[in-house]
Amino acid sequence: MTDQCSQSRVALQEQSSCSEPAFTDHYMVLKDIGEGGFGQLKLARHLLTGTEVAVKVLAKVATKFTLLSEPEMMADLDHPNVIHLFQVMETKKYVYLIMEHAGGGELWDFIPETGMEEEEARRLFRQIGQAVQYCHQKGIVHLDLKPENVMVDDERNVKLIDFGLSTRVTAGQKLNKFFGTLLYVPPEIICHQEYEGPPADIWSLGVVLYSMLTGIWPFEASTDNELKKLIMLGRYIIPSHVSKEAKSLIREILKVDPKQRPTIDQVMGHPWLTQGEEASPSSSCEVLPKLPDLTILKTMINMVITDFQTQNEMTTEVSYRF
C-alpha cells in the first residue's frame, strides 16, 4: 500500500540528478513541483525555446518495473485528458520523462472543504472518466487513481498523470501486485486477493468522485487497520447535500464485490454523468491539449538528437511524440 510505495521511494534521487550535462545543456530546472512513488517531478524550461515542461526524474536504482513500464505506457497514450509525453532521455543513472506541463495544479486544489458544485464536479469527472475509458480501451489500467494524480490545466481541463504503477492487461487477466494509496485501493487489494485491473480502477474512481462532491474521503479512521476494515466492509455515509443521482453513481461504484461494479463504459453512461452532455463537448470533440508549437518541439528534438550523437554518457533516446 502506501508504505510499500514510500519504501520504493528511498534513495531514488541524488543532489546531482538534474546536474548531468546531458540534461542541463538543454533544460534549466525552475522548481520542484511534486514527488511520486518512484520519482521527483520538476518544472523546467527548455533553454533554446523557453518552453516550460514537466520533467519526471527516475533513478535507475528504482524498481525495474517502473523504469520499463511508465515511459512505454505513456508513449502509447494520446488523449486530450492524459498528460502528453514529449520525449524520454536516458543516461547511465537516470531516465528523464519530458512531459506537457499542466499549470493549474492538482485536482485537490480545486475541491472546497465542503465539496465542489455538482455541475463542475460532473464536468471534471467526465473528463477523468474519458481518460480512464481511453486507457482501458488500450488495455492499460492506471492502478493509482487519486486527486493527486489528476492535474487541471490553465483552461480547467483534466490531465491524468503518473503511470508509474500502470500495467497492461487482457480481458479476465488476474493481477497480484498489491500497491497503491490506502484511501483509494479496493477491498480485493487490501485482502491480497488476485484481482482484475479495470474494476480496481473503477473503485478508485468512486473514491475520487466522493471526494470531489464532499471534500472528504468515504472511508476515514484513526489507524490503517481500522481504515482497512471500513473499506473491506464497504461502510461509508454520503452527506445529505449530494444529489440523489450522484449518490446512485457512488453506490454503484463502491461495491465490495468487484464483479458487481460497473465497467467504465457503464459509468460514463450513468444518468448523473450524462446530464448536460449534449451541451458540452463529447469525448471525440474535447478541446485538444494546449501544446507548444510543433516547430518549437521539432527544434527541441533535433537539437537533443544531435547532441546525443556526440555524448558518450548517453545511452538511448526512447521516444519522441508530437
- DSSP for 41-78, written as a single string: EEEEEETTT--EEEEEEEETTS-HHHHHHHHHHHHT--
Contacts of 245 (CB under 8 A, 6+ apart): 271, 272, 275
Which of 233, 292, 251 minimizes the C-alpha distance to 54? 292
Which of the following is catalytic: 25, 144, 224, 307?
144
| The three three-digit cell numbers of residue 251, written as one number | 453506490
- Annotated binding-site members: 56
- Annotated binding-site members for ATP: 56
Q: Is 32 a catalytic residue?
A: no
Give the separation between CA 260 and CA 163, rounded to whole angstroms: 26
Amino acid type, 186: P
Burial of 178 (0-12, 13-18, 19+ CB in 10 A): middle
| The three three-digit cell numbers of residue 261, written as one number | 461494479
**Hey, which residues are catalytic here?**
144
